Amino acid sequence: MTANYSEQILFTTKADSSLFFIGNEESPDAYLSFRHKDENTIIAEHTIVSESLQGRGIARKLSLKLIEYARENELKIIPECSYVVKFFERNIEFEDVLA
């Protein structure tokens, strides 16, 4: 039976970055990290999905959470992470949150 991870995406803020993650906060099974550039802009830094979760659309779900967060907080996103760069290239409907 495959777990539905969309309901298990958690959020945490550390000293210099924030994470949307699945699993244990100290050692997540998947995460998307970002940091604030300024009060209006965040930088998507890394997206990591463990081998055991690959192929389930987890990176996409994490990206959608980031977009939801940006919209709710009236922020723009600078994608530095290669996955997030490609995500925005393939999903132009989200360009409203691009910096």
Domains of the chain: 7-97 (3.40.630.30)
Strand partners for 49: 30
Summarize pLDDT for 37-56 with one digit per residue, the tens.
999 999 999 999 999 999 99
Contacts for 14 with CB less than 8 Å, ≥ 6 apart? none
Query: Which pLDDT value is given to residue 14?
Result: 84
Question: What is the average per-residue pLDDT within 17-21?
Answer: 96
Please give the pLDDT value at position 1: 36
Kindly report the average pLDDT of the chain as a whole number: 92
- For residue 36, the model assigns a pLDDT of 95
Per-residue pLDDT, averaged over 12-30, amounts to: 92
What is the structure's pLDDT at 69? 97
Q: Which residues contact 67 (CB under 8 A, 6 or more apart)?
A: 77, 94, 97
What is residue 7's predicted lDDT score, i.e. its pLDDT?
A: 54
Q: What's the confidence (pLDDT) of residue 96?
A: 96
